[in-house]
Structure 1
Amino acid sequence: MAGGTETKAAEGELKRAVEDLQRTFQVYCEANDERLADIETRASDDVVTGEKLARIDAALDRQKRQLDDLMLKGRRPMREERDELRLRGVSLEHKAAFDAYVRGGGEDGLKGLEQKALSVGSDADGGYLVPEETETAILTRLASVSPIRAIAGLRQVSASVFKKPFSISGPQTGWVGETAARPQTNGPTLAELAFPTMELYAMPAATATLLDDAAVDVDQWIAEEVETAFAEQEGAAFINGDGVNKPRGFLDYPRVDEAMWSWGNIGEVASGAAGAFPATDPADRLIDLVYALKSGYRQNGRFVMNRRTQAAVRKLKDGDGNYIWQPPATANAPATLMSFPVTEAEDMPDIADGAAAIAFGDFRRGYLVVDRTGVRILRDPYSAKPYVLFYTTKRVGGGVQDFDAIKLLNFRA
């Protein structure tokens, strides 16, 4: 009964947050219309109206973040659901042995279990595999709070490098007469893509009092401590990473004008103005970006940009005078831009001359995140006494897997 009451309360809170955001956006639209009217009549922005719009814009950002936090909180399983998962599929024996290791450093239980499983749980520098429940919890939270991971393709591997062949072009074909000879056609062109996994670590610290408290769920604590650290590092690498000891971000690949696109490059559309949208028909550049993507990708397309770029886009209208950015219609829906969902990624660049501040594409097909199976933890009670450090590591890689599935809007003339 308590769980049902909590669920209803959370749903009510989400509904109120969505309604508040929609009301604030209506006020924002009215203020921006007033600003545009001032420009038409006075040929300049009214300072008071501009400040009012900036305040409403900041309120929109705050309400959107609050809504995102509520949605993330709602995705976390309740205690009863976690217990049910444990009973159905998770090794309670492994969890108990891991709990003993984390709390007191006892390794005997884990050594025996992982030897029986024919896995090397600890070597000279060591670490033990965390229980399956904790690993799943960490990966679930990363998908929720790391924006690119949440929309990209995902693959779990057991090797250090994942290699994937990709067919750039299919076999050649042709028309022939009924009795004409059938000449041999060329085979498809294949490219081999390699995605090495790199080590990502977090090192939360706990006091002896925390570990001695039997009421503390250590698995849950570790997952919550490392989720933010992992997500921040991943979010930056999946966008801007150079591939050296980290995944390669989609903005690190060579970029060319869409008219000259070829495999291995990311296609760009120019905004038409240095560091800005053009003064005339600015929304048309977003339409150009959308239709630079082939229809097979476009049906699953989404925009990716940071909060400041989204604030600039909120002011744009289509040819009929309608705002092209719209707030979420329901609790679990994203904001939309020209009816396509918007993913907010703070590691995207701001609008500036030569900056690719907006990406559009089918990221599920375009970008691949590779996770090596297993999250490891090494208990260190010596380096930072009186604290106990938990050196938690996972291996992750990433890179573009289909160069035709992602397009960029570059703010250049």
Structure 2
Amino acid sequence: MTDFSTDAFETKAGAGAQPVAGGAEALLGELMHAFETFKQTNDERLDRIERRGSSDTLIDDKLDRLNRAIDGAKAALDRQAVDRARPQLDGGSPAAADEYKQAFAAYVKRGEEKALSIGSNPDGGYVVPQETEAAITRLMTALSPIRAIAGVRVISSGTYRKPVTLTGPAAGWAGETAARPETASPTLDSLAFPAAELYAMPAATSAFLDDAAVDVGAWLADEVNAAFAAQETTAFVSGNGTNRPRGFLNYTQAAEDDWEWGKIGYLPTGVSGDWPAEDESDVLVALVYTLKAGYRQNASWVMNRRTQGAIRKFKDADGNYLWQPAAGAGGRSTLLGFPLVEAEDMPDIGAAATPIAFGDFRRGYLVVDRQGVNVLRDPYSAKPHVLFYTTKRVGGGVQDFDAIKLLKFAAS
């Protein structure tokens, strides 16, 4: 008998565990099995409500356990996908490492600064090798759900400015000999995306750094990546734009009928803090079609796991479940045929909350990365540990206000 508990999935693919042969396929099988059981149990719940007018506590508890089991299997699959994507840095044959990588490893391990002058700043530390910087960004993409679907631009200055055409030039029809009056000019706007400083300060003992087997670049990337990714995701969702990126939920919101450029449009559910009393899923379909056709092709859903758990119970008019698990390891779950991105920083369902976003985030939200990741080695402040003050400059904000829509749990 299959154990549908979250703990069971955590044991099979715990954090930091290396995936074993067939591990992803086995977890995917468990996920599909759990979802099939979930559907059968939910059908039983709906049938009981139809026959008796109420659900059963035991059935509701079982659905909650199955929801947690599905979430656990999905989290384990996501961790394995991150582990598979983890690059090998500074390792392998000595011939494969260039002079700067070797010098950087010596600086991290022992504080030696020979041959680092090309990448140094006496007050700001040293720029990490390009491979390590790429690994930090690559792992952050795997762990930061918004970065994974947003547009990303690498900049060399402190602020990226993007001109935007709000309206094109006016045009008109004219007869062969009719007068042709001057038409209106296009309306332009400029959006600014300043890069704010993001930092982490991992510590290591001198004995750990002296170990010749330590892959310095990979260790540093692993240490700072999780911290950077967590801070990034929060900022991309709800950041206020002060010394951090501005999240897409931080902009002024407007009902779709009153939408204008500079605001994020929303569709109300019609009930404060809840789904509509009947045909709950209809508001999801309506939200899809608030987005213009040009954006729907690459659109994604964004919500947290609790909201996702509530939506798993929804069916269409033909009795098909709207939520479907990923078709293969490393894939995404889908809702109404569109990929679903799980972001825990999205709010829960509640009065006037906007826990569900839908849109083409690659066109709608822009992440700007200031080129370079700096490391300052500090062997003095926390003896016997060596601190590594690691900084990266990141910005973000909405670049197309037409591309992202929200579902608001409000009467209007």
Q: What TM-score range do you get, normalising by the shorter chain?
A: over 0.9
Match of 2:158 in 1: 160
Match of 2:40 in 1: 30
1:283–1:316 CA contact under 8 A, matched in 2:
yes
What amino acid sits opposite 1:306 in the alignment? N
Aligned match of 1:230 in 209, 219, 228?
228
1:369–1:397 CA contact under 8 A, matched in 2:
yes
Match of 1:297 in 2: 295
Distance between the aligned counterparts of 2:267 and 2:402, measured in 1?
Answer: 13
What amino acid sits opposite 1:92 in the alignment? D
2:374–2:392 CA contact under 8 A, matched in 1:
yes
What amino acid sits opposite 1:42 in the alignment? R
2:153–2:366 CA contact under 8 A, matched in 1:
yes
What amino acid sits opposite 2:219 in the alignment? W
What amino acid sits opposite 2:109 in the alignment? R
Match of 1:19 in 2: 29
Distance between the aligned counterparts of 1:284 and 1:253, measured in 2?
Answer: 26
What amino acid sits opposite 2:111 in the alignment? G
Q: What SS does the aligned partner of 1:303 have?
A: strand
How far did 1:79 drift?
A: 7.0
What amino acid sits opposite 2:224 in the alignment? V
Distance between the aligned counterparts of 1:145 and 1:252, measured in 2?
Answer: 22
1:10–1:74 CA contact under 8 A, matched in 2:
no
Corresponding position: 1:93 with 2:130: no
Residues 279-307 of structure 1 show CA distances to partners (whole Å, capped at 9, x for unaligned) of: 20111000111000000001111100000
Give runs of aligned pairs for residues 177-326 of structure 1, distance below 5 A: 177-326=175-324
Distance between the aligned counterparts of 1:329 and 1:266, measured in 2?
Answer: 32
Distance between the aligned counterparts of 1:105 and 1:73, measured in 2?
Answer: 30
How far did 1:86 drift?
A: 8.5
Distance between the aligned counterparts of 2:56 and 2:145, measured in 1?
Answer: 37
Match of 1:122 in 2: 121
2:89–2:215 CA contact under 8 A, matched in 1:
no
How far did 1:173 drift?
A: 1.3
Unaligned runs of 5+ in 1: 1-8, 115-120
Corresponding position: 1:394 with 2:400: no
Residues 238-282 of structure 1 show CA distances to partners (whole Å, capped at 9, x for unaligned) of: 000000110000000000000110000000000111111112011
Deviates more, 1:400-409 or 1:98-107: 98-107
Unaligned runs of 5+ in 2: 1-18
Q: What SS does the aligned partner of 1:383 have?
A: strand
Residues 330-381 of structure 1 show CA distances to partners (whole Å, capped at 9, x for unaligned) of: 1132000000000000000000010000000000000000000000000001
Q: What SS does the aligned partner of 1:264 have?
A: coil
Distance between the aligned counterparts of 1:279 and 1:73, measured in 2?
Answer: 43
The structure whose residues are more often helix, as a share, is 1
Give runs of aligned pairs for residues 97-116 of structure 1, distance below 5 A: 97-111=103-117, 113-114=118-119
Deviates more, 1:17-26 or 1:354-363: 17-26
What amino acid sits opposite 2:47 in the alignment? A
How far did 1:13 drift?
A: 2.1
Distance between the aligned counterparts of 1:239 and 1:172, measured in 2?
Answer: 36
Aligned match of 2:146 in 132, 145, 148?
148
Distance between the aligned counterparts of 2:364 and 2:72, measured in 1?
Answer: 31
Match of 2:6 in 1: none
How far did 1:10 drift?
A: 5.4
Q: What SS does the aligned partner of 1:180 have?
A: coil
Cα gap change, 1:182 to 1:228, in 2 (>3 Å) = same
Corresponding position: 1:77 with 2:77: no
Q: What SS does the aligned partner of 2:121 have?
A: coil
Distance between the aligned counterparts of 2:321 and 2:37, measured in 1?
Answer: 13
Q: What SS does the aligned partner of 1:342 have?
A: strand
RMSD, aligned α-carbons: 1.7
Distance between the aligned counterparts of 1:309 and 1:182, measured in 2?
Answer: 56
Deviates more, 1:17-26 or 1:152-161: 17-26
Distance between the aligned counterparts of 1:330 and 1:276, measured in 2?
Answer: 33
2:248–2:398 CA contact under 8 A, matched in 1:
yes
Aligned match of 2:53 in 43, 48, 55?
43
1:86–1:133 CA contact under 8 A, matched in 2:
no
Aligned match of 2:370 in 369, 372, 377?
372
Structure 2-normalised TM-score? 0.92
Runs of 4+ off more than 6 Å: none
Q: What SS does the aligned partner of 1:168 have?
A: strand
Structure 1-normalised TM-score? 0.92
Amino-acid identity (%): 56
Q: What SS does the aligned partner of 1:292 have?
A: coil
Residues 78-136 of structure 1 show CA distances to partners (whole Å, capped at 9, x for unaligned) of: 579x759994xxx711111111111111123212x33xxxxxx213x321101111101
Distance between the aligned counterparts of 1:176 and 1:334, measured in 2?
Answer: 52
Match of 1:54 in 2: 64
Count, aligned residues: 393
1:283–1:318 CA contact under 8 A, matched in 2:
yes
Distance between the aligned counterparts of 1:15 and 1:78, measured in 2?
Answer: 24
Corresponding position: 1:360 with 2:358: yes
